[in-house]
Structure 1
Amino acid sequence: MKRLLNCTASDFMEMNGHQLREAIEASEGRVVLSEVICATTPLYPGLTNAEYAAAFGADLILLNLIDVDKPNVEGVSVENPLTVITELKKLIGRPVGINLEPVDPGADGSEMLDNLPGGRTAIPESLKKAKDLGVDFICLTGNPKTGVTNTAILKSIRQAKEIFQDDIMIIAGKMHGAGVRNEAGTGIVSKDVVTEFARAGADVILLPSVGSVPGTTLEKSNQLVQTVHEQGALALTAIGTSQEGAAKETIQQMALKNKMAGADIHHIGDAGEHGIAVPENIMDYSLAIRGKRHTYVRMATSINR
């Protein structure tokens, strides 16, 4: 298996979830994942936010706010909605994943929580529909005010693993409190939580980026990443706190510290501009963790290769 750094569109087309994970692991902390909102007007009309993110150096694209009961990506026109993910992958030549949210009805909300449609939640029916849509990976996490808890995520990991087996890579974890009172700041994640997630079948454990939520220091993040790796999983550090719209220097600091912490995948969120990170910040993050060589190659490589 090639390392992801050397993979092109034709390589990605042949990968299952297990092979994608191996390609990421072989890249030694130099993989960029850009999350984009697919249900809103893109940065500029005529294209998708996914295309902008890919053009600025993202290796993996994660679609937020997609409803698997009514799949739609703004900027992609298809007769059959069930083919929208397949069509998007043709346009960008990158692996594409989606968020599904393990909502906990018993969550102790720190604010008024939203009511999500079933197609956005990580119920078994939605997991099966995600597989039918042809996603390459799934991210079990929570948007703000959704009431997603670690307990609910753990349950969804087990269900997802049973449905996906090795076909789809599973990412799981919280990048912020998601509106839950006792799972914010330093209470978002612990060594016990990441151990449970990995043993339940998660391929990648999502952790808050260094410097994103209160208490996420380099030292603490490094300890969590070490625990993830000891359990045989990969670690993803996520910027889900709107800092994807921060200054270039902030992004560069976070990027380097996440790499020092041992991240295998570097996530940058969707709240910079119109459902996407500030595009230059995607590129600047990539430059910080892997330099011009790999950044420019990813930006320039044709989808026909």
Structure 2
Amino acid sequence: MKRLLSCQASEMLNMNGKELKQAIMASEGRTVITETVVATSPLLGGITNAEVAAAFGSDMILLNGFDALNPKIGGLPETDEPVKLLKELTGRVVGCNLEPVDVNADMMESRIEISKGRQAVKETFIAAEKLGCNFICLTGNPGTGVTNKAIAEAIKVAKENFTGLIIAGKMHAAGVNEPVVDLKSIEEFIEAGADVILMPAIDTVQGLSEKEVADACRLIKEKGALSLTAIGTSQEGADVDTIREIALINKRAGADIQHIGDAGWSGVAIPENIMTLSIAIRGKRHTYFKMAQSIKR
């Protein structure tokens, strides 16, 4: 196996979930995942936000607001295979968010209802598999009422119906009154079968300390899983100095993957911020390699 940061497009796209996990692990904290909204008009009109993310150094593309039962991606031509076409156009592994909604959640705000195709249920896991998703991310958008308990249950269903990489955790509270980073929940996620545990990036969620994230990353590694820290609080639209600081502090804490969210302009992070994140955690050499590599290699 090669490190993901050294892989060509054909090598990445031929990986199964186990191989992708190993390639990320071998990259030693130098993997970038960029989230993009699929339902908005793309930043650059005639191309997808995912293509922009790939061009600025991202290794992995995460689709947000993606309806697995009615799949559409803004910027793509008409196709019955949107995920497979997007992988061909970007040369990147592609996955989607599916949300484990808990109807009994103790909400801090009004609940936002989402379609069944966006929820983490058996039908959407089967659909994501058929569509060619390399990974799924079990998490919650603001106000959707996703809980740690519901995530743990969804992981078990995902393991039975999806063969790719499974990412699980919360980038923020998702409207629910409960701890966002909880070691007990992390252990439950890993025991249920999660490959990657998602947490908010340090400096993005109120009161979350470097020690808490570092302790979580240490536990995750001991349990044989990977850690992902996420910028999911619209700070993907901040200045490059803020992005650089977040990138370095989360690498120091032990994150295997660093995520940058979709709240820049038109459903994607400010492109320079994707590049800044990449350069901060792996330098210009590896960043330019990702930016310049041909999708036909």
d(CA) in 2 for partners of 1:22 and 1:262? 16
Q: Deviations over 1:180-235 (max 9, x none)?
A: 12x2xxx2121111111111100000011011101222111100111111111000
Residue 100 of structure 2 aligns to which amino acid in structure 1?
P
Q: 1:78: how far off? A: 2.7
Name which of 82, 89, 108 aligns with 1:91.
89
Correspondence for 1:128: 126
Pairing 1:242–2:234 present: yes
- The 3-state SS of whatever aligns with 1:258 is helix
Correspondence for 1:29: 29
Pairing 1:292–2:288 present: no
Matches within 5 A, 1:136-285: 136-164=134-162, 167-181=163-177, 183=178, 187-285=179-277
Matches within 5 A, 1:41-56: 41-56=41-56
d(CA) in 2 for partners of 1:296 and 1:13? 20
Structure 1 length as normaliser, TM-score? 0.96
Gaps of at least 5 residues in structure 1 are none
Residue 209 of structure 1 aligns to which amino acid in structure 2?
A
RMSD: 0.7
d(CA) in 2 for partners of 1:231 and 1:191? 12
d(CA) in 2 for partners of 1:52 and 1:163? 31
d(CA) in 1 for partners of 2:79 and 2:166? 29
d(CA) in 2 for partners of 1:211 and 1:194? 20
Structure 2 length as normaliser, TM-score? 0.99
- The 3-state SS of whatever aligns with 1:286 is helix
d(CA) in 2 for partners of 1:79 and 1:180? 37
Large movers: runs of 4+ above 3 Å: none
Matches within 5 A, 1:39-78: 39-78=39-78
Q: 1:79: how far off? A: 3.6
Gaps of at least 5 residues in structure 2 are none
Residue 180 of structure 1 aligns to which amino acid in structure 2?
V
Q: 1:103: how far off? A: 0.2
d(CA) in 1 for partners of 2:253 and 2:174? 23
Q: Deviations over 1:275-305 (max 9, x none)?
A: 0011100000101000000000000000011
- The 3-state SS of whatever aligns with 2:107 is coil
d(CA) in 1 for partners of 2:274 and 2:202? 17
Name which of 99, 102, 115 aligns with 1:101.
99
Q: Deviations over 1:145-187 (max 9, x none)?
A: 10000000000001101112xx300000001010112x2xxx2
Correspondence for 1:301: 293
Q: 1:13: how far off? A: 2.3
d(CA) in 1 for partners of 2:238 and 2:228? 20
Q: Deviations over 1:66-94 (max 9, x none)?
A: 101110001111342xx110000000000
**Count of residues in Structure 1 that have an aligned counterpart in Structure 2:** 297
- The 3-state SS of whatever aligns with 1:18 is helix
Q: 1:56: how far off? A: 0.4
Residue 116 of structure 1 aligns to which amino acid in structure 2?
I
Residue 76 of structure 2 aligns to which amino acid in structure 1?
V
